[in-house]
Amino acid sequence: MRELNLITKTPSDLWCDFLHSFEVEKEKPSHFKLKDKFGTGWMSFERVGFDLKHLFAEFSFNEKTRFVFDPGNEEERYLTIIFCRSNGHGTIHFGIEDQLTFKDWEENKPENDEGEGVIHYVTTKLNEIPEFTIVEGEDCRLDFIFLNKKWLAEILPDKFFETFNIPFVFKSRLSHLIISGSHIDINELFEILKEFHESEIKGAKRLEKLGELYTFLSGFFETIHCLRFDPNSRGKVMPERDLETILGLEKHLRNNVEGETPDLVSLSEKFGMSKTKLCNTFKDFYGASIISYYNIIKLDHAKKVLISKPDSVSDIAHRLSFSNQSYFNRWFKKLSGVSPGEFRRGKRTERVSI
């Protein structure tokens, strides 16, 4: 078994040890491709924002590899988030207060439970990163996100750091953190961060992406805080297969927000769940019926189109799959209290006033 001994004094020290461990000869590159002797994949280190650094690795090792972290003389400047995503077998959930290492997951994986898994690990101290092992041939993605604690203390609610005085650990086959009625999809974070490594983002585009990133992290921290300190926010427990179905349905509704009102029988057939169970399970989780929820997100989308596009109300009605403008006007006014035209004029007036 290969063993990697990595110093975690600072994010830069950790990156230097990755370079040394994988025999990178070039002087401190920001990214490198794994040599064949180690496996396949690549690793990258990026200063994404002034107060945020990201170490990213996507790989498959040709030998079982253990990561061992040596804290050294740690600088306590960073809050560290680690995501370890793999295609390995097993799903196991632990209580929020359980103190477990990655090794515990390896030894307690249930049999015959396949699927991608995501480990979430958050700590205020780099020297609390536990050892863990990646098996041969496992397709993995490993993310270390380093956030300046002084900066975070200024933007997060008072005493928020108490949430992370004890490391937070959680694993799920789904890439989601769940609280009642909402969820955080970690895949969104992965995709945003990956853009900073794969292309040079500058100017307004970089500011836009940083805004998306910080908005996501704010929701992430709020979700973890609720999971740890507000047991009531965890919502109803449901079988993971049902949860995956409901999350898939919600994504389907958003992807088809410009289409016609969904047919419940067709949705039942598409997602392989009886119509009654699908409707009840969705409402239990999101607090609204499927049709009501669809109307909410469609209205929000319609408002964005009215503000951002110069198209006529008639054209927008057609774009949103309404049979005619009159029907669109009635639908919009019933849900928002004003007609589409009144809404658009009101927003224009607000911009002029500003």
Domain regions of the chain by residue span? 2-234, 240-353
Residue appearing with tokens 């097993």: 90
Report the 10 Å Cβ neighbour count for 225: 19
Residues with Cβ within 8 Å of residue 45, at least 6 apart in sequence? 11, 15, 18, 30, 31, 53, 54, 55, 56
Of the candidates 53, 112, 58, the one whose C-alpha atom is nearest the C-alpha of residue 85 is 58
Predicted confidence (pLDDT) per residue in 306-319, tens digit: 988 889 999 999 99
The structural architecture, per CATH, of the domain 240-353 is Orthogonal Bundle (1.10)
Tokens of 276: 């009654």
Give residue 311's pLDDT: 92
What number is the average pLDDT over the span 19-34? Answer: 88
Give residue 330's pLDDT: 95
Predicted confidence (pLDDT) per residue in 126-136, tens digit: 666 767 777 78
What number is the average pLDDT over the span 157-183? Answer: 58
Predicted confidence (pLDDT) per residue in 39-69, tens digit: 999 999 988 887 889 998 988 899 988 888 7
Q: Which residues of 180-211 are buried (b: 16+ CB within 10 A; e: fewer)?
A: bebbbebeebbebbbebbeeebeeeeeeebbe
Whether pLDDT at 112 is above 50: no
CA dist 305 and 310 (Å) reads: 9
Give residue 273's pLDDT: 94
What number is the average pLDDT over the span 87-103? Answer: 35
For residue 122, the cross-strand partners are: 81, 168
